[in-house]
C-alpha cells in the first residue's frame, strides 16, 4: 500500500542536516509514520494543532516540525473525512527550554 506523498519546503535538506541526531532520528520516524497514515490517532494526539488545522509535532531536544494535511475535495456532504492526498512539511522550530526564575 503506497503512502501519502510528502511535500517538503525549499531548504528542507539544509535544515534537516542541521538538526541534532536524536531530533533527526525522530523526524525520520515521524515522516515514515505520517506518510503511512496522516490520520493516525496517536500521531494527532502528540501533535499540537492551530486554528487553521496545521500541526506541530515534537521531535525532542526542543525541536518541532510544522506540518499539514491536504485532502481531496469532497463532492458531496459526508460524515467521513476526505482522503488525505498530500502531507506538507512547512518547517522546523527550536524552542529553548523555559526555566522559572
CATH number of 13's domain: 3.30.2310
Report the first-to-last Cα separation within the chain, whole angstroms.
52
**3-class DSSP state of 24:** helix
pLDDT tens column, 60-73 = 888 999 999 998 88
Per-residue confidence (pLDDT) for residue 78, from 0 to 100: 67
pLDDT tens column, 26-39 = 999 999 999 999 99
H-helix segments, 12-83? 12-17, 21-36, 41-46
CB-based contacts of 21, cutoff 8 Å, min separation 6: none
pTM, two decimal places: 0.83
Q: How many structural domains is the chain composed of?
A: 1
Provide the residue range defining the domain that includes 11.
6-94
The answer to the question of residue 101 being in a domain is no
Vertex 71: Cα angle to 67 and 75 (nearest 5): 160
The strand pair at 48-49 and 6-8 is best described as: unpaired
The answer to the question of residue 27 being in a domain is yes
Amino acid at each position: 500500500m503506497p503512502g501519502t506523498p510528502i511535500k517538503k519546503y525549499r531548504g528542507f535538506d539544509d535544515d534537516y542536516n542541521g538538526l541534532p541526531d536524536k531530533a533527526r532520528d525522530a523526524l525520520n520516524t515521524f515522516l515514515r509514520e505520517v506518510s503511512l497514515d496522516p490520520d493516525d490517532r496517536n500521531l494527532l494526539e502528540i501533535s499540537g494543532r492551530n486554528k487553521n488545522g496545521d500541526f506541530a509535532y515534537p521531535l525532542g531536544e526542543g525541536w518541532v516540525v510544522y506540518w499539514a494535511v491536504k485532502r481531496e475535495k469532497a463532492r458531496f456532504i459526508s460524515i467521513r473525512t476526505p482522503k488525505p492526498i498530500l502531507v506538507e512539511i512547512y518547517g522546523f522550530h527550536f524552542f529553548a527550554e523555559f526555566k522559572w526564575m
